[in-house]
Every structure is written in C-alpha cells, then in structure tokens.
C-alpha cells in the first residue's frame, strides 16, 4: 500500500456512475480503489463490486469497504474494515492469507491491535477535520500520524480531510500513502486531479 489510495464513495456519486468514475481515476494513474457503498443493499454492493473488478485493469487493486463476503465473491483483492466490523482475525479465516485486509484506526492502541491481528495495513485518522463521514472523530493531527507511523511495521495510510493543498504536509510524516475521497470526487476534472495527486504522492 503505497502512494495515492482513492475511495469511490456512493455518498458522493451515483452508484450507476461508479465504474465510469473509477475508470477516470485509473486514467489519472490510480492503482488502488476502495469501494465504499454504505447504506446500499447487499445485492447492489455485490453487483457494483463485480462490475468494477471486471472493468478495472489487472494492475489496479480493488478493496471493498466493510464486507469481506462481497470482497471474496466479487473477486476483489481485499477488504477494509472499521472498528465495528468483523475482527481482523475472523475476516482472515474467511479470506485466507492472500487477500488484503486493512483496518480503520483512530489511536495507537487500535493500530497496534490491528497489526497484532495480522492486518496488512492500517488507515489512521481523521488527520484533519472532515465532512466525508458524519460520525468522524475529532481530528488527530500530523503529530499523532507520525507517532503511529513510527510505532508500526505495516503500512500506514493517512485519511481524513486530506486534499491537494495539504498532502505534502501529510507525506512529510513518513506515511506510506494517503486516502482521499471528496477532493477527488467533487472535482470537475477527476482524471486531472488524480494525475496531480499521484505525482505528489509518488504513485
């Protein structure tokens, strides 16, 4: 998990446009895409995930948010789990060793636990104030982000309020990658936006 980690969130785009938007991100250089489709029926999430995996190039990693079952059945490369989702070790029993498991974390205790349970990476945040998630915690800041990175041996992805204007400050903490949602999905030129972000994030 390195560089730009893009999130395709159906809170920002119509589900029917998910594949079209994903391909625009790929054209801009995105190679990691997470499907976040909170609130949609399981059947619809599955079809979205399956359609994305068929449409995306083989070198693009598809991660499904919250749903290990759908990630497995749709042929995705991995799943991203929150603190209220299935525990990492349980998801690992379902998915096996080869699929990627990422965990959302908000403090050092959660991050270390995710690493102990066998997570392949953690996302830490929100780094800055964000309106992407209504239930987001208070901003953690760059100092906490750097502490998490220094404490873990697995990749750390920064998330929350990151945009083209502050991404360099985030990367200076040494994190492996940055996850972005609204700055990309609200852009009038998604491909161009991703191109600039990939250049800044180093991949």
User: Mean pLDDT across the chain, nearest whole number?
Assistant: 95
Q: What is the pLDDT of residues 142-152, one digit of tens each?
A: 999 999 999 99
Q: Is the pLDDT of residue 133 over 70?
A: no
Q: Is the pLDDT of residue 44 over 90?
A: yes
Evaluate the omega torsion of the peptide bond into residue 126 and state whether it is cis, within 30 degrees of 0: yes
Which is the catalytic residue, given 24, 53, 67, 104? 104
Which is the catalytic residue, given 92, 133, 140, 149? 133
Total length of the chain: 203
Chain-centre distance for alpha carbon 122:
9
Cα–Cα distance, 117 to 172 (Å, whole number): 28
Q: What is the pLDDT of residue 137?
A: 73
Give, in degrees to the nearest 5, the angle at Cα 128 between 122 and 134: 85
Q: Is 133 among the residues known to form the active site?
A: yes
Sign (positive/negative) of CA torsion 187, 189, 194, 199?
Answer: negative
Sign (positive/negative) of CA torsion 107, 200, 121, 135?
Answer: positive
Which is the catalytic residue, given 36, 53, 67, 149? 36
Domains and CATH numbers, the chain: 3-201 (3.20.20.70)
Tell me the backbone φ, ψ of residue 18, rounded to 5 degrees: -60, -45
Cα–Cα distance, 88 to 149 (Å, whole number): 20
Q: Is the pLDDT of residue 136 over 70?
A: no
Cα–Cα distance, 124 to 152 (Å, whole number): 12
Which residues are 9's β-sheet partners? Answer: 36
Q: Is 182 among the residues known to form the active site?
A: no
Q: Is 53 among the residues known to form the active site?
A: no
- Name the pTM for this structure: 0.94
């Amino acid at each position: 998990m390195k560089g730009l980690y893009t999130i395709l969130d159906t809170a920002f785009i119509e589900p029917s446009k998910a594949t079209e938007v994903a391909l625009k991100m790929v054209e801009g250089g995105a190679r990691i895409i997470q499907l976040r489709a909170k609130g949609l029926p399981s059947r619809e999430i599955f079809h979205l995930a399956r359609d994305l995996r068929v449409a995306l190039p083989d070198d693009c990693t598809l991660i499904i948010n919250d749903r290990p079952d759908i990630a497995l059945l749709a042929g995705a490369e991995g799943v991203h789990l929150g603190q209220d989702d299935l525990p990492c070790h349980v998801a690992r029993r379902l998915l096996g060793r080869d699929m990627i498991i990422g965990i959302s974390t908000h403090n050092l205790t959660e991050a270390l636990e995710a690493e102990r349970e066998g997570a392949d990476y953690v996302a830490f945040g929100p780094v800055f104030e964000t309106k992407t998630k209504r239930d987001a915690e208070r901003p953690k800041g760059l100092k906490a982000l750097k502490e998490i990175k220094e404490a873990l041996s697995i990749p750390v992805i920064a998330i929350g309020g990151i945009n083209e204007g502050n991404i360099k400050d985030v990367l200076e903490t040494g994190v492996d990658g940055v996850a972005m949602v609204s700055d990309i999905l609200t852009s009038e030129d998604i491909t161009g936006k991703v191109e600039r972000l990939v250049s800044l994030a180093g991949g």
